[in-house]
Structure 1
Amino acid sequence: MTERTLYEKYGGFSQVSKIVLSFYDTLLDNDEIGPFFDEVDMSRIVDHQTKFIASLLGGPASYTDKQLRQLHSHLEITDAHFDELETVLRGALLDHGIAADDVEAVVAEFGKRRPLIVR
């Protein structure tokens, strides 16, 4: 029998979508991170981020390292910004009932992308 992914365990795309919306609700109010989204089409970003977070949970969507690097290359994202993103992601996952061990697994997967996103 195949073990379920975290994506399947926690309800798939609809649940990930709720997590991402609360993630951005918090980020947009953040003085350090919020300005990155001032001139951004949020519906497009939410769609991309939902696919990205789904992939971190073992879901069907994924982005290559090259795509992630290219999508963030024009931004001045620092380690401090990335740390804040991790904190907000952790909180959003916990707020939506993701078990603490699973949250840490997802945050660890997110952390592996740091070199592609931080300048």
Structure 2
Amino acid sequence: MSETIYDRLGGFPGVRRVVTAFYKRILDSVVLEHHFRHADMRRLVDHQTKFMAALMGGPYAIDEIGLRKAHRHLGITRGEFREMSALLRETLAEEGVPPGDIELVLARMARLEPAVIAEAA
């Protein structure tokens, strides 16, 4: 079995480090921070770490129905999704993730865009 991005990042602790850095960028984003003002960040980072781990080939699954239900009331736009993707790209690069792995994670995430944005509901 080949090594996954999840493995190369050091498993759950490495992915959690990336997610924590990612959310620091999100909370600094004038485009995105309003979605997180009242969020339980500890719970969100834990959940998002499992989600990112799944995108990176880790031992977690993505529930697209649950993803759609969790986001449908938030009114997330394509522009906000693009901003989030750009911040994830920056975070992964800063964490030393190779460009090919970054593109793979972003491609996997892009396939889930219809489950996240309001315009696709």
> In which range does the TM-score fall when normalised by the shorter chain?
over 0.9
Classify the secondary structure of the residue corresponding to 1:73: helix
The CA distance in 2 between the partners of 1:15 and 1:91, in whole Å, is: 16
State the percentage of identical aligned residues: 38
Matches within 5 A, 1:28-67: 28-67=27-66
Matches within 5 A, 1:1-119: 2-119=1-118
TM-score for both structures, normalised by structure 1:
0.96
The CA distance in 1 between the partners of 2:29 and 2:99, in whole Å, is: 24
Letter in 2 for 1:66: I
Letter in 1 for 2:43: R
CA displacement at 1:63 relative to structure 2: 2.2
The CA distance in 1 between the partners of 2:57 and 2:70, in whole Å, is: 21
- Structure 1 ranges of 4+ moved more than 2 A: none
Unmatched tracts of structure 2, length 5 or more: none
The CA distance in 1 between the partners of 2:21 and 2:58, in whole Å, is: 19
* Alignment length (residue pairs): 118
The CA distance in 1 between the partners of 2:60 and 2:67, in whole Å, is: 13
Letter in 1 for 2:30: D
Letter in 2 for 1:90: R
TM-score for both structures, normalised by structure 2:
0.95
Unmatched tracts of structure 1, length 5 or more: none
CA displacement at 1:6 relative to structure 2: 1.2
